[in-house]
Structure 1
Amino acid sequence: MTARQHDSSVYEHIQGEERFQELKRRFRSWAFPMTAAFLAWYLLYVVLSAWARDFMGTKVFGNINVALIFGLLQFVSTFLIAWAYSRYAEKKLDPVADEIRHEAEGTTE
């Protein structure tokens, strides 16, 4: 058996393990809803910009209108989601991923 075949069988074995499946489940349970929420938020911005021009053009103060505020909030929400994901990954994903990686490295050596 070549080293490449051995590595392949190790990864196939890991993929079938319960811990790896749990890791995927944890990732998906956070990433999919957050992605859907962000896309809905972004779509709301686009739809309001296209069909609620009067509302989006409403001046809040000075030359700042609702559209500009919503646009800036897109950036804010992106950074907040990235920050929240890094915290989630650090607590819920990284420990399990580290265990799996260390086991794989020990198996392949």
Structure 2
Amino acid sequence: MTTANAGPGASGQAGGRPDMPAERRVPEPQEFVDMQASPEFQDLKRRLRRFVFPMAAFFLIWYISFVLLGAYAHDFMGTKVIGNINVGLLLGLAQFVTTFVITGIYVKFANRELDPRAAKIREELEGPIA
């Protein structure tokens, strides 16, 4: 077949996937450059960075603190809390919990703040979904 969308499961829609829109306008390269300079795109970038950079800094400090405590504060990390469970084990498990919590916070933030703005920008570039 010669079409770009042909393949296993091709259904006449983009990429042969039923969840993809049938067709969207393909913007010219200059339109992408212009959109990147637009106030809407700059606002989207600013909102993303205001969330990501502080959250990444918080997590890196938290992670590095855990590693440094493990390397240099053996007595503290080995302090028994309940039975054979010590502070080091609890802080290690807290790393996993923190990762999941940050992920959940980001998903809520993206759904509320980023995704609607990104969808609007995409619609401006490619037109409404056919």
Q: Which runs of 4+ in 1 moved over 6 A?
A: none
- Measure how far apart 1:7 and its partner are: 2.2
Alignment of 1:14-53 (within 5 A): 14-53=35-74
- Measure how far apart 1:10 and its partner are: 1.1
Q: Percent identity?
A: 50
Q: Report Cα offsets for 1:53-97 as digits up to 9, x if no partner.
A: 000000101110000000000000000000000000111111110
What letter is aligned with 1:79?
F
* Length, aligned pairs only: 105
Distance 1:99 1:106 in 2: 10
Structure with a larger share of its residues in helix: 1
- CA-based RMSD: 1.8
Q: Who wins on radius of gyration, i.e. which is larger?
A: 2
Higher relative contact order (CA 8 A, sep 6+): 1
Q: 1:55 and 2:76 equivalent?
A: yes
Q: Which runs of 5+ in 1 are unaligned?
A: none
Q: 1:80 and 2:101 equivalent?
A: yes
Distance 1:7 1:106 in 2: 13
- The two structures have a TM-score, normalised by structure 2, of 0.77
Q: Which runs of 5+ in 2 are unaligned?
A: 1-25
Distance 1:49 1:27 in 2: 33
